Structures are given as C-alpha cells and as structure tokens.
Structure 1
Amino acid sequence: MNRLRWSSMNLSQKMLIVFLMLIAIPLSIQGYVTYTDFSRALEQKTIDYVERIVRQINTSLEQKLKEEMQSLSLLPLYNEDVLALLEKYALPEYAGIEPSTEEKNRMFRHIAGSTFYKPEIRGIQIVANNGYIFTNMDPYIVDAFIRYDEEPWYERVRQADGKWVTLPQHKPNYLHDNSPEQYVSIAKLIREPSSTRLLGMIKLDLRAELFRNITANYQAGELGYLVVVNDRHELYYEQNIERPYRMYEQVVRSLPARSIKTRMSMDGEPYLIIANHSEFLGLRVISMIPLNVLLGKSIALRNFTFVIALICLFCSGLLALFFSHRLSKPLKLMRNKMRLVEQGKFNLRVAVPALSDDEIGQLARGFNRMTDEIERLINEVYAIGLKEKEAELAALLSRINPHFIYNTLESINMMAVRHQAYDVSDMVSALGNLLRYSVDKQDRRVTLRDELESLQSYVKIQKIRYGDRLNVIFEVEEELLDVCIPKLLLQPLVENAIYHGLDEHGEGGTVWVTAARFERDILLIVSDDGKGLSGAEIETLKRSLLLPAVSPEGAKRGLALKNINDRMLLMFGKEYAIDIDGSEGQGASFTLTIPYDKGDMKKDEHFAGRG
C-alpha cells in the first residue's frame, strides 16, 4: 500500500516530502551531537580555512613577484634604448667610466615608468657591466658604482646565471639611507638576447608593504604568528610578532621542505602549524596558531548554530514548498512539449535560461537537440533522394559506350567535311566537346575555365541554329579562371535564357555570362534582354525552388533552376541559394554566389569574348 501511495503521488508532492526529510533529519541528529564532536569539527574547519588562507597568501605572493619579474624582464631586453646603453658600458674601454647626464636621465625615465603607483617598490637598480648603477632612487643615497665583493647576495645571482633569484631581508651596501628597514629583493643577470653575452644585472628592492598588503585582509587571530622563509630558513617577512623570529627558528628548521599541517609544542603550549611551499619561488608561508585560540570560539559558535537550526526548522516547510514547485515546473512544461512532438510537431523548442546548467537545463537542451536532429534527418532524407537521382542518371550514362558516340560523331564530321557542309561539321565538333565534358569528367567540381569552354561548345551549337538572332557575351575576370566551381552550373542557365527569354521573345537577343569577385564571394551571373519576368512570375519561381519537388506540369525553367539551387544549398549552405531578378519586357537575371575560398586560385590569361 505504501508503494502504491508513493507511486501515485506527483513529482511536486514527492519532492516536498524529500525536502522536509532532508531538512528535518539532519536537524534532529544535530541535537545529539556532543560538545566534543562539535569542537573537533570546528577545529577541523578552522584548520582547512587557515590552510586555504596560507595557500592563497603564497599564491598571491607568487603572482605578484612573477608579475614584477615579467615586467622587469621586458625592460632591458625589449627596450632598444636600455639595451644600447648596457651594451655600450659592457665594452672594456668604458670600465669605471660614469655615463653622461643625458644617458642617466634617459635610463631614469625608463626605470621610473616601471615603478609608477607601486609604493611597495623601494627601488630598481640596473647595474651595467662596468659596475655603474642606474636607479630610480635619489642619487645621493645610492653609490654610483657597486662593489660586488661586498654584497653577500651577489654570489647567488651569479650562480643562477640569468634566472631570477629571491633574496631574503637585507640592507644593500650601495644604499646610504638612515632607515633601519630591511628589504626583500629579486635579481637576475642580464644577457644579450642574441649572443647571451653578459651585459649587467637588474635588482628590485621591495618593502615589507608587499607582504602587508597581501595579508591585510586577514585578522591577526586567524593566522597567529605568520612567517615567510626560503628553503635556507632565511627570513623574508614576519607578522603578529610576539617573539622575534629567532625564537621560532628552531621549530621552522625542523619542518620538512614541503606543504604540511601538523601540531607541535612550543614552551609547553600546543600550536597548530600550517605551511605552504611555493615551487616557483622556493618560499614557504608558515602560520603558527595556538590551539587555545581556536577552541575559545567553539561555545559561541555552538550556541549560534542551535539558533540557526531552530530558524531553519521553522522555514523548512515554506522553502520545501517553494523549491518543489520551481523544480517541477520546467519538467511539466517539457512533458507537454513531448506530447506535441508525439503528434508530429517537430519545430518546438523549450526555453532554457542562459545560466542554467543543472540536470533540468541539460534535459531541456537535449530535448531541443532531439527536435533539431529529427528535423535535420528529414531534410537529409530529401538530400539523399536527390543524390539517388544523380546516381541513377550516372548509371544511365554509363550504359552508353562513350567511345562509340565519339567515333560516330567523328565519322559524321568527316562526312560533312567531304560534302563541304561546314556548319554541320562545326555543330558536330561542338556537340562532341559538350558530350566529353558532360560524360567523361567524373569530378563534381571543375575550374571556371573548363566550365566556360564547355559552355562555348553549347553556344556554338545554338549559334548555328539561331544565327545572328543570338548573341552571347562573356565577361569574366582573369583571376577567376582557375577557381573551382560545381560542374554544369552555367549551361542550364544559358539554355533557359535562350529558350525562355529569347526564343519566346521571337526577335532573339543577347545573353551575358559574367564572372566577378565581390569581397569573399564569386558572382556568376547569366542575364538576357528577352521577354523578362513579371514580379508575380519571379515570386512563383522562387516559391517553386523551396518545394520538395517540381510538379510534372512545372516549367522546364523551374526544373533546371531547382536542380541548380538544390546543389548550391547542399554544397554551400542556405545563404548561397540562387537569386532571381528581372522585369517584364526588360529581360531576366540569375545570380549564383560561390564562396571565394572554396577553390584554388591561379593566375591565367583573361577570358572574355563573344560567342
């Protein structure tokens, strides 16, 4: 009975019951959780939180220093003026020679631009190979030349051989300010990009503000005693100082050189120690928090949790009712749409919010893809039908031995020549060329040159028939002769222009065949000055191109145009359908648009003339 009752409920009712159970059961269990378990959970959450903070501090420090390294790397290597000065004072004859005032000012402007609005940077020093120091600081507090042997940090820079090196807190000997402040630095050798010849050194001195700005968003109690050291346990920064770093140094040295979280005792007091190691900088951010600070918040947090639990229990019914309705509403909508699809309406779509990526959103998108696929398959079946007709035509043509036809036409040609019937000879030769192009070549795509040569053979036959009543003009841009186009596009259009535009006109006329490039497309235009088309005839003709098939009573013009239009749609897409224009008594024009980048381009002689 219970199963029958559950199965008979609608989705909204089921979701309402599930929501109430999911809210009520955890709240009921929470009342039996002991204070010890709660404290342990709070402690673990605090550990995870502090671990994320320490990792974020290390990541922010790494990103900030990496940004400065990348910015400073571009200064000497991609600034031709800076590079020229360093190359000049790397020469032996400039040893111990101080640059000119103009050169100092030029270098100062380049360096000063790198420290604009960056108060954490104390100074940038670019040291030439002769020891002269270019700096953005006041010249009276910086030595003109550096003595490498007096700088204990220089050996690390030299051994790095062009890589960036981070230097712990120190007071550079080349500075003469009275401030007791120590600076953290990054430095590297400068080498010429092409020859790797040593040109000097670049050094960036950073104030403690760099670290203070990164840790400013975190309270002192959250991080305890915070220290940043390198793999040699040398100090870079310390925060929340109760005792100096040397009091903690022994503990720091005992930690492994990796990211860890552990408990240790210092002076009889338990500490939680969390360390995060940066592979890129070789620095470790270490937080040491007294456990009694963590446990002091547990009682207040426990009471707050109980209050929140009562509020959640009171609101659970309303929330469950609201969400069950919101979640079931789109499913009901899709159910109704599915019923319509069952009735054969495949052009339906379900609206999906732009940011909805849950299961319901995925289901709605799947429904839309299903209806699109059904509609595509219907169109594909139609396209397959066209291809089957082409295959039947190709099979029919293959039953005729082309060589027999060619030999027979050649015999007729020789007989016409013997009887001096040269018009007949020309017509037979043109017909032979036209048959060879139509039957022998199996390619679906041919060059525009081949298409025009075949069209000339067809025009030659029609000229013999119509005489001076027919005039055909070719206007083709030279660069388009070797562009590939679909085979047998132009001949049916010219045939329609002659039979329906000029023949019915009675007085003959002119047909223009034009090939021109327009931006990224090729325009193939066949136009005539025959009887033309009225607006109603053009609309009827365009509508016939969209029907599945032309009726047997339809005009030959409609059948030829539909065949060409279907091929264009299959090969290039809907935007490349045939375009029809004209007016009654003024002729008609048929335009085919082909993407220019679909074929290979080769230069050749200009193809233009009259048939």
Structure 2
Amino acid sequence: MRRWWNMAALGKGRTQLRSSITYKWLLLLAAITLIPLLVLGAVSYSITKNAIDKKVTDASKQLIRQTAENIDIRFSGYKDIVMQMITNPEIMSLLHRISQRDEEVAEHISLTSKLAYFTAVSPEFKSVSFVTDDMYIKGIFRWDDQAELKSDFYSKTMGAGNDFVWFPTRRGYYSDTADSHEEVVFSVSKQVFNIHDGRQLGMAVVLDIREEMLSEILRNNAASDLRTESFVIDRSGVILSHSNKEMLLTPVAEWFHAEEANLLLREGREDSFVAHYKGKEVLVNYQQLKSSDWRVVHVIERSSLYKDSDQVIQVIAILLAVCALFSIVAAIAMANSVSSPLKRMVKAMKQVHIGNLSTRIHRDEKRIDEIGSLEYHFNDMVGRIEELVQAVYQEQNNKRIAEVKALEAQINPHFLYNTLDAIKWTALFQKANQAAEMARLLSRLLHISIGKGSDTVMVHEELEHVECYMGIQNLRAAGRIEVFYDIEEEAKAYRIPKVILQPIVENAVLHGFADRIEGAVIHIRCHCADGRLVFMIEDNGHGFETDMPDLYDDQSAELPKSASFLGVGLSNVEERIKLICGNEYGLSITSKIGLGTTVTITLPIMKEESSHV
C-alpha cells in the first residue's frame, strides 16, 4: 500500500512538473535554440560531408590519373630499352650465334656484358632473358624456374605479333655464379625480328622488372595526411603491387566484399564508388593503364576525410551544450520571474477564497509589465470587494435597525386610531357632531395612508383617501371647494401607488385656491389609454407661470411663489411612482395664470399587489 502511495505521489509530481511554467519555458527555449542548432549542425555536416566527398573524389581521380600516367611513362621507357636491346647489331649477332647451338639452356659472357650496359642505367631492372621454342638464353640472371615459365612466355609473346606483352607479378627465382635468390618481379616481352629484313627470328626477349618500382611510384603519389592505400591489379583481380607485401598476389575479393570486388573488374577505364575495404568504409577510385590492361586502385578511408567535419561537429556539440545550459538557466530565471508572482497571487487568492479580504500582494512598484499590472489590479479588486462587503454589511445592519424601528412605530398608528375613535365618541356624547365627523375622517385618512404595509392600493381606496381629506377641508372651509369624479368602471379594479392623488389635491387647496372664497372646483378623471392608466387632476385655481418645472431641481426656491409647492410634494409623488412603476411613468403639469393647473399622472396597469421595500 505504501509503495502504491509513493508511486501515485511520484506520478502526481511528474504531472505537476509537466504542467509547470518552468517546464514549458524549457521546452519553448529548447525549440527556439536547440532544435535550430541541431538542424543547422545536421545541414552543415551534410553539406560539408558532400563537399569533402566531391573534393576528395576529384582529387583522388586526379591523383590516380597522375599515378597511372607516371607508370605508363615508366613502362614506355622499359619498352624503349627492350627495343634498343633487340635492335643492337652486336647483341643480335651474339644471339644469332648462340641460337645455332644445340642447347636447351645457353649463355654467353659477351651477351651478359652487353645486356648489363642497358640494365645498369635502370636499377629496377632485374634480368633480361631470351627464349625460343626449345631454348632458354640467359641474359643477366638465370631463371631457376625457366622450365615452368619458358613456354608460357614464348607462346604469349609470339601470339601477340609485334606488340609488347606484360606479364603479372610473380616470385622469380634466380641464380648466378655466386648464389641463388628470389625476388618479386613483373615482366615485359617482345618478339625479336631481323633488323635488316624484318623476318621473325622465332625468339622473344623478356625483361624482368622489380615490383618495388611500382610500389615506390604508388607510395610517392599516395603520400598525404589521409589514410590511403594504392595498389595495382590485373584483369583477374590479383594484386600485382602493394606497399604491404603480404597482400601481393592475393585476390582483391579477400579484402573487399565480393560484389564490391567485382566493381573493380567491370568494363570502363575509370570509376569511383564507396566500398568496404578491410572492414572499413572507403572511397575507391581506379584507373586503367594505357600501356596494359592493369588497373591502378586508390582507396581512401572515409573516416579520415571527415576529421575537419568531426571538429565542426564537436564545436556544434559544445555550442549545443552551452546553449542547453543557457536555455535551462534562462528558462528557470524567466519562469521564476513569471511563476513566483503567480504563486504569490495564487496564495493570496486562496486567502481571499477563505474570506480573508485584507490579503494584499506585496508587489514591486518598479515592475510595470503585465505581471505588475495583474498584481495591481488584483489588489485593487480585492480592495473594492472588501469595500463592497463592508457596505453590504452596513446596509444590512441599517436595515435591521430600520426594521426594529418600524416594528416599534407600528404601535403609534394603533394608539392614534384608538385615540381618534375615543375623541369621536366623546364628541358625539357632547353633541359635537362636526368634531366627531372630522375625527372619523382623519382616522380613515390615516388608516388608508398607512395601509397594511403595501406600496399600492385599489383605485377606489385612493379616491376614498381624497374624499376623507376633502371632507376635513370642507368642514373647515364650510364647503367652499367642490370635487367632481369621472372614473371609468374598469379602472376601479386596478391598483396604484398609494397617496399620489391627495398631495396634488392638497396643493390645489392650499395654493391654487388661496384667498378664494367661492367657486373653487377640482375635477378628478381616470381612464385607460394605450395600455396605461391615466389620472388627470384639474383645478380652476390661480395657476403659475412655468409650463413644466423640473421636479428634481434643487433650486425650487427660484420658482414663482405660486408654484413653490411643487418642489417637495410633487417631487415626492414623482419619485415614488418611478421607484414603484418605472422611469417611463410619472407626472406632467400644465398651468396657465388665472386659468388653473392640470396635473396628469401616467401609471401602468397593475392588477396584482406590489410592495416596494
């Protein structure tokens, strides 16, 4: 169980690491820096490698052509020596006399002396011999294996006519009066003709040349800083000359793959290809000699070609390592510059989440980037939230206090009702009927005004409220003000904000009919129009000068004296209508001096009881 918990914790840690900003920054910088460097390194290496391959291939072809040309020049010199021998009268005279002998192997001191003159000029010459169908004539050294070679040399040379014949490298066994020895040589032969009439003499001259001569040419032309090898092969693929003597006379198939060895033997005088030589990848170039069908082969170990490229790769690897280190350091620094403030912000958010609204982020005032702006606005937001919470708390507290006071104030209306009722009955007992009626009307007026806690009343209740008020006024004024009602029956079933008609009527009584003894008339009309309920209260009072005063203007003191009443009473009615019904509803007033005033109230159709708290 503990092991499972450890694995789960490890997996969670890995998930958090992969989702962290630092990890993402590392990936981003790796993509921005390392990947381009890798691509650049790969492209550079590929371009460099291809350029080196092309340059080295061209250089190798040029080198092998030069090597083949040097060998051909030497071979041409050997041919000249041979021709000088077989066209020398003294040598030919000696050969003629020797050939008359009935000997299988013949030699003559004078012939040896004459031939030594020619071979002395070229130290690579080993020996000169002459062969006929049945005789071997020693020149410089005797062939100890002449019995095996004589017939082969003779038949091939005679079959070539007037052409030179080149014989591949062999181990030659020689002897003279002093000792016997062996040496690796290759040979060139030519049929001997009569120098006077050109007749065939049935004889061939064979010049043995030390293989070391070829090795020396190959070494001189192959000298370079690269790991290279050069050698000569014949048409059968046998190595005729090589600096490594152990490889002499071995087939190239021993050192190349079989299919690659066959490429060296295909048609064509020159070619180049990539092969595997002694288990290593090499670049191979070959060139066929002009003087024979032998081929000079040049191999270059490819790994030696790319020493400079390897140095480039090492430099790129070092740059990658430096860039990787820089990326890690930069990613951590950049991520910390972002993640550290965010972590502080997350910590602060958690504090706010649990209700600690006094939490603030300690920010660097000098930081003006997005993180700094985020910190600033976070602190500002939390501060505003704290202020709003305090305001809501204060509002709720004030509301609670108001509710308590409202409960306490409910006692006063009941006390007032009871008191007025007692006054009424006392007045009746004392035969003061007018005072009793005023007490009744006042009690009913207060009852409708206070209501049952609702903001709206029925239309007929509001009209009754006006009637109670006018009843009291007419008792005081001996019935000098007449009120006429024109109310649609449909409208009586609707509800309206309470106490909106009485303040308007009161203003007409107190200000419109001031100092008026008789003839005061108020018309109250109500009808429905365009989905709205419309009240019109008209009086024939004094009127005033302005058509429509601003009911919310604080400068109500500047209104005409006759209209100064509009500042408080009607503004209260207007405000309550808009608060309960909406801003599109309210009052409109028209007035003319000496003609009276008309107040129009526009209300929505309300059938349900509405309460504004």
TM-score range, shorter chain: 0.3 to 0.5
**Which of structures 1 and 2 has the bigger CA Rg?**
2
Q: TM-score, normalised by structure 1?
A: 0.38
Q: TM-score, normalised by structure 2?
A: 0.38
